[in-house]
Structure 1
């Protein structure tokens, strides 16, 4: 049996991302491990407290030998356009969560609207990753 465990998004600054995902979105740290033997590589992941088996890895864009300068620049360009990473989050009340996050300084790209699949909105994290916040309509 295959199960879902984690996903990874690119971030410019892991400390800034950590602050946003924990303090602003209310997630908890799953792992924060630095490996000096790998040049200080840091494995940082967060997730919703009520879903302990799910995590989002907040990965700093690597340089050599993983990515050459041209590839790194392309990833950074896509991030600037909000196209390098997507997250789809759900909530019981999109409008209340929108108000809460707006009060915390989150700038939404799309205000809550009714769509054929549910109530939907979107914002970006500090690295430009596109995040959809929705409440799907019941499929029953």
Structure 2
């Protein structure tokens, strides 16, 4: 029987920098931080969603070769990956809190599509939409 998605991953340039951003600025917590040689399995969780993990991964062997890893990191840095969505109760309040923690937004909160949303990027370039729950 299928139980659902447990982990979704992002490519990041620097796992320590990503960990600091997701924990200190977004309020996530560490779920798993395990190493096997050069490979590091690093996942975080949103405190309101403990059944789901967000993986903060470096593209590297054995999943991709070095050239592909560099191309993936370039694409992430350009913001070419699909955006992720973080749903909050109050977009404007979350925006102010996150800005106070040093999150750099690419779009201030705006009312549209029947809700309020804002946009930011993580240090690697992964795009996020901050959306107010309807």
TM (norm. structure 2) is: 0.91
Q: CA deviation at 1:11?
A: 0.5
Aligned with 1:79 (options 76, 83, 103): 76
Q: Does 1:95 align with 2:96?
A: no
Q: Does residue 7 of structure 2 align to residue 9 of structure 1?
A: no
Look up the SS of the partner of 2:120 in the other structure: strand
Between 1:19-28 and 1:78-87, the stretch displaced more is: 78-87
Unaligned runs of at least 5 residues, structure 1 = none
Instruction: Figure out how many residues of one structure are paired with residues of the other and give that number.
Output: 133
2:99 is paired with a residue of what secondary structure? Answer: helix
Computed over aligned residues only, the root mean square deviation of the Cα atoms, in angstroms, reads 1.5
Structure-1-length-normalised TM-score:
0.87
Tell me the CA shift for residue 40 of structure 1.
2.5
Larger Rg: 1
Deviation digits for residues 87-117 of structure 1 (CA, Å, limit 9, x no counterpart): 2101001001111111111110111011114
- Structure 2: tracts of 5 or more residues without a match: none
**CA distance in structure 2 between the aligned counterparts of 1:118 and 1:33, rounded to whole angstroms:** 39
Note if contact 1:10-1:84 (Cα within 8 Å) is conserved in structure 2. no
Which stretches of structure 1, 4 residues or more, deviate above 3 A after TM superposition?
none
Select 2:41's aligned residue among 26, 43, 47. 43
Q: Which residue of 1 aligns with 2:52?
A: 54
What is the rounded CA distance, in whole Å, between the counterparts of 1:83 and 1:23 in structure 2?
25
| Partner SS for 2:73 | helix
